[in-house]
Amino acid sequence: MEDLIHSILLALHNIALVGCAAAPFYNRNLVLNRSQYGAKLSYKLDKVVEDTLQGNAPYCIAFIITLFVTGMGIPFNHYYFHGAFREMSIVSGSALAIKLVAVFGMVAIMILIFFKYNPLINKLFATFTENEQPKEEQEKLFFQLRARRKRLCEFCLKFAIIVLIASAFLGFGVH
C-alpha cells in the first residue's frame, strides 16, 4: 500500500512540476510573440493576450498547490508506514532545500502578479475600447506594467527550471 500511495503522489507531483514549468514557458512565449507588434495597443490582440495570461492563473495556483501538497505527502507517507522520515544524503538534502526556496520564490512571484499587477492591468485595460486609441499616458502605463510582469515571469521560469533540476537529485541515497 505504501508503494501505491507513493506512486500516486509522485505521479501527481510530476504532473504539477511539468505544469509549473510549462505555464511560465508558454506565457513567456506568448509575451515575446506579442512584443513584435510594439508598445502600441492593439485591442483585440491585447485582449487575447490578457485573457490567456490571466486565464492561466487558476492553473498556476492549482499546480503550485499540488506540487506543495504532494511534495509534503511523499515524506509523510513514508513516516506513516515506518514511524520515521527517510534519511537523506547531503545531495538530496541540498536539492530539497534548493527546490523549496525555488517553490517559495514562485509563490512570491505569483502573489505579486495575481494580486498586484494583474488587477492593475485589468483596471487599466477596462478603460480601453476597440474603436478608440487610448490616451498616451494610459497606454504607456499599460505597457510598463506588462513589462514588470514579464520580468517577474522570467524569474518564475528560472525558478521552475531550478525546481525541475533539483527534483532529479532528490533520489540520491544516503552515503
Flag whether 21 is in a domain.
yes
Flag whether 175 is in a domain.
no
| Containing structural domain, residue 146 | 2-168
CB 168 within 8 A of CB 99: no
Low-confidence residues in the chain, pLDDT < 70: 173-175
Burial string for 117-156 (b: 16+ CB within 10 Å, else e) reads: bbeebeebbeebeeeeebeeeebeebbebbebbbebbeeb
Flag whether 174 is in a domain.
no
Indicate the pTM of the whole model: 0.86
Total count of domains within the chain: 1
Residue 174 confidence (pLDDT): 56
Flag whether 98 is in a domain.
yes
Flag whether 136 is in a domain.
yes
